[in-house]
């Protein structure tokens, strides 16, 4: 893989670089020196990622004179809870971490969110570095400073905006990603084309077979362009007061489905895949876009191998889960709705309207086309 590039996130004194380099994790000495990493470093990872990358990371840190402390967590969304944060803080306190100490998030989106939140609250904030090893994390969650954990009533309800010191993306780590996780990651990549770049969306349509085969040059374009779009959005609206909300497209319904499934039946990218299609369908129902937009989105989601059908929960259950999401304002859900490929808008939706839309859903198994006509 020849990929080597840098994307900047411009946030004044909180600005940082996203370094994208094949083999980066095998040559960290220069980065550690430039960032003046010293003292203790807690390397937070999960058991799956640790099997492939933890020992190499610890060896490099030791060679550079860094006192590394591994913190290995159970894998999966169910680790994304306050008990896990308490565990990380306990380890840091026992090893006498100081404000000059750091945390490294070595893993996927769950590890990154947890590590960033622990870094944000330990001694009121210590540096942390994102080292994403999944497609979702490399293309989306490692960038932007959203950190936190889930609550039993909703996803990501507890957390903080806290920017990393740097993001180190080594695309070679994607070679060990299970196929289900790889496909799930494509949902976030597709999202960026829908919300901000029709040309990128068309590229993904053409190159989806190569993406599914993990062809290096195609993956390089997908990761870099996703990071570029997110960096631009975050630089314009760091704390999600306005424009950054467009990044929530696919996540309003998606997060509700994750919560209802207790983070077991659907992994994050699968839920977002459903959200991309179904929220486009809501947009069409509301008159925000043409049916052709929904069909294009569903076609690419299906081509990626992602689910696109609503599970058989009632509208009332889904709405209740949506109300526990942070996208709620004044009792209404503020949704992000595609108006055309490459552009989205935001508007609230109330429960009666959502229920009316839900009643129009066909009782189908996955894979069938959303070709029905708008009913209201």
- Residue 255 annotated among the catalytic residues of the structure: yes
95 included as an active-site residue = no
Please check whether residue 117 is in contact with residue 160, taking contact to mean a CB–CB distance below 8 angstroms. yes
What does the angle CA 324 – CA 107 – CA 113 come to, to the nearest 5 degrees?
Answer: 30
Which member of 94, 96, 124, 206 is catalytic?
124
Q: Look up 87 and say whether it is catalytic.
A: no
The residue from 181, 188, 228, 279 that is catalytic is: 188
Q: Can you tell me the distance from the alpha carbon of 168 to that of 135, in angstroms, rounded to the nearest whole number?
A: 13
Selected catalytic residue, list 166, 181, 228, 240: 240
Instruction: Assess whether 264 carries a catalytic annotation.
Output: no
Q: Which of 255, 296, 309, 327 is catalytic?
A: 255
Calpha distance 21→7 (Å, rounded): 11
- The CA distance from 278 to 3, in Å, is 34
Q: What are phi and psi of 57, to 5 degrees?
A: -60, -45
354 vs 349: CA distance, rounded Å: 7
Annotate 201-268 with DSSP letters as a single string. HHHHHHHHHHHHTT-HHHHHHHHHHHHHHHHHHHHH-TTSSSGGGGGGTTHHHHHHHHHHTTTTSS-H
**How is residue 222 written in tokens?**
């997908």
Catalytic residue (choose from 40, 80, 251, 309): 251
Active site residue 244: yes
| 10 Cβ contact list (under 8 Å, min separation 6) | 231, 235
Out of 48, 181, 224, 248, the active site residue is 248
Three-class secondary structure of residue 4 per DSSP? strand
40 annotated active-site: no
**Catalytic entry in 17, 165, 244, 358:** 244
Alpha-carbon distance 218 to 210, whole Å? 7
240 assigned to active site: yes
- Is residue 124 flagged as an active site residue? yes
Backbone angles phi, psi at 240, to 5 degrees: 60, 45
Say which residue the tokens 């942070």 belong to. 326
Q: Is residue 211 within 8 Å of 222, Cβ to Cβ? A: yes
CA atoms lying within 13 Å on the CB side of residue 61: 21
Which listed residue (230, 309, 327, 358) is catalytic? 230
Catalytic residue among 268, 309, 327, 358: 268
Active-site residue (options: 40, 146, 155, 225): 146
Q: Is 198 among the catalytic positions?
A: no
188 annotated active-site:
yes
CA atoms within a 13 Å half-sphere pointing along the CA-CB vector of 52: 15
- Output the six-digit token pair for 320: 């209740």
- The residues annotated as belonging to the active site are 124, 146, 188, 230, 240, 244, 248, 251, 255, 268
């Amino acid at each position: 893989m020849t990929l080597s590039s840098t994307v900047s996130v411009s946030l004044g004194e909180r600005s940082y670089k996203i370094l994208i380099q094949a083999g980066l994790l095998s040559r960290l000495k220069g980065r550690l020196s430039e960032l003046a990493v010293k003292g203790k470093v807690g390397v937070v990872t999960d058991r799956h990622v640790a099997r492939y990358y933890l020992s190499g990371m610890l060896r490099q840190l030791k060679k550079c004179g860094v006192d590394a402390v591994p913190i290995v967590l159970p894998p999966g969304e169910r680790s994304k809870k306050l008990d896990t944060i308490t565990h990380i803080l306990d380890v840091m306190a026992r090893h006498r971490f100081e404000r000059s100490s750091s945390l490294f998030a070595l893993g996927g989106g769950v590890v990154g969110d947890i590590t960033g939140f622990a870094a944000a609250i330990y001694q009121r904030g210590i540096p942390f570095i994102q080292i994403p090893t999944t497609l979702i994390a490399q293309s989306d969650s490692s960038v932007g400073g959203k950190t936190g954990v889930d609550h039993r009533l909703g996803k990501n309800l507890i957390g903080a905006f806290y920017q990393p010191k740097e993001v180190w993306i080594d695309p070679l780590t994607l070679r060990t990603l299970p196929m289900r996780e790889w496909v799930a990651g494509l949902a976030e990549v597709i999202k960026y084309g829908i919300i901000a770049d029709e040309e990128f969306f068309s590229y993904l349509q053409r190159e989806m077979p190569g993406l599914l085969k993990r062809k290096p040059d195609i993956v390089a374009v997908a990761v870099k362009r996703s990071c570029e779009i997110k960096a631009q959005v975050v630089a314009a609206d760091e704390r999600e007061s306005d424009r950054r909300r467009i990044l929530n497209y696919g996540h309003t319904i998606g997060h509700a489905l994750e919560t209802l499934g207790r983070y077991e039946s659907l992994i994050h990218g699968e839920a977002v895949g459903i959200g991309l299609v179904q929220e486009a369908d809501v947009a069409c129902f509301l008159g925000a876009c043409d049916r052709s937009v929904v069909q294009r989105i569903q076609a690419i989601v299906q081509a990626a191998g992602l689910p696109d059908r609503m599970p058989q929960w009632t509208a009332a259950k889904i709405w209740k889960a949506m109300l526990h999401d942070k996208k709620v304002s004044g009792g209404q859900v503020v949704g992000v709705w595609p108006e055309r490929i490459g552009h989205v808008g935001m508007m609230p939706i109330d429960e009666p309207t959502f229920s009316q839309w839900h009643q129009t859903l066909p009782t189908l198994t996955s894979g069938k086309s959303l070709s029905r006509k708008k009913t209201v």
